[in-house]
Structure 1
Amino acid sequence: MDRSELAARIDHTVLGPATTPADVERVVSEASEYGMNVCIPPCYLEEVPTMELTVATVIGFPHGQHSTAAKHGEAVDAWQRGADELDMVLNVGLLKAGNHEEVVADIAEVVAAVPVPVKVILETPLLTDDEKRRGCEAAVDAGADFVKTATGFADGGATVDDVELMAEYLPVKASGGIGSYEEARAMIEAGAERIGASSGVAIVKGAPDAE
């Protein structure tokens, strides 16, 4: 794929706890220049000017331990304030406890609340392969659009093996620790449809003009 096709798969991201309006302005400007999407904190959705730019934000971030009602409210609020896509964190503790129906219900409440794509963040660094599969199954059962590897705030991030596993269930957004074109390409070759990264510009610049 060429640079423009790669860029369209990247969610250029800024989600750290010290993120400022200036940080969001920079990421939006870079995404617009290079043809990427953005993923920003929900409090800054109004910072994004009206333009042809896909804007994602996060729900239940970063630990997934918000109540389902709180996640529902976050989702509706984010959509009403302009979010085009929502990346929600599933409840990792409930998943580990084997409470499948509760995990499904938590995700399904967000999916049903908004008419935009919902990506479910599994936080794969904290999960066994069996738990990853059960998380993907819950996302499928809840009607989610994507599964996503990680928030980037746990100890670890996306791996090729995890992307291959998750791609058996739904389209995958690989996120967490992807900092170069070579790493992004490996994730795409493993089955990732989207890449979440704070290094979006470096990834695009590292790509050849055409392949």
Structure 2
Amino acid sequence: MTIRVVIADDQELVRSGFAMILDAQPDITVLAEVGDGEAAVAAVREHRPEVALLDIRMPTMDGIEAARRICADAGSRVIMLTTFDQDDYIYEALYAGASGFLLKDVRREDLVHAVRVVASGDSLLAPSVTRQIIADIAGRHRSGQSRPADGADARLGVLTTRERETLHLLGRGLSNAEIAQTLVVSEHTVKTHVSSVLTKLGLRDRAQAVICAYETGLIAVGED
């Protein structure tokens, strides 16, 4: 299967460089390169790629709004491009539906790996990004801007005990192999639990599972 990609970045050298790297792979094809968020949404709607690479900060429409529209109606998965791993908009972008983040100075092998991982239906969260999510949620709770809605904790009632344990470990950023080791089960069993958690809670992927684990209070902010 060929992974089809659309790239959106207002820096021509960045998007053309990424396109050159990805097009050199036998299983990846870049369908379009555009320079702003509005054009990105249009390109994704036209080409229906598996993955869209979006710069967070773009003219006309920023990457967050573009991600929100793409994830809502195009079915494509989104990887955000950013200059700093502590970008102020990480939380908003993940909430909009982004499945991962890449720094613009990413190594070529990591770029290719990220596209393949996200196209397969998984998410890509570096530990620094997970820490930023936690910090953002903590700040919002302190300011009263983002508290779980009434009944939010009740969402977890649909999960079995083992599924709650799996979500807790997902929220801490553990991989499937690490979760399997912690729970003393096979990786296949973990994949089954993860899939069930995402389905029952209506979550897109592991990135949104991390947010859910903290917002519902399953993991306390500051928990080791």
Interval containing the TM-score (normalised by the shorter chain)? 0.3 to 0.5
- The answer to which structure has the higher strand fraction is 1
What is the TM-score when the length of structure 1 is the normalising length? 0.35
What is the TM-score when the length of structure 2 is the normalising length? 0.34
- The answer to which structure has the higher helix fraction is 2
Q: Considering only CA atoms, is the larger Rg found in Structure 1 or Structure 2?
A: 2
Higher relative contact order (CA 8 A, sep 6+): 1
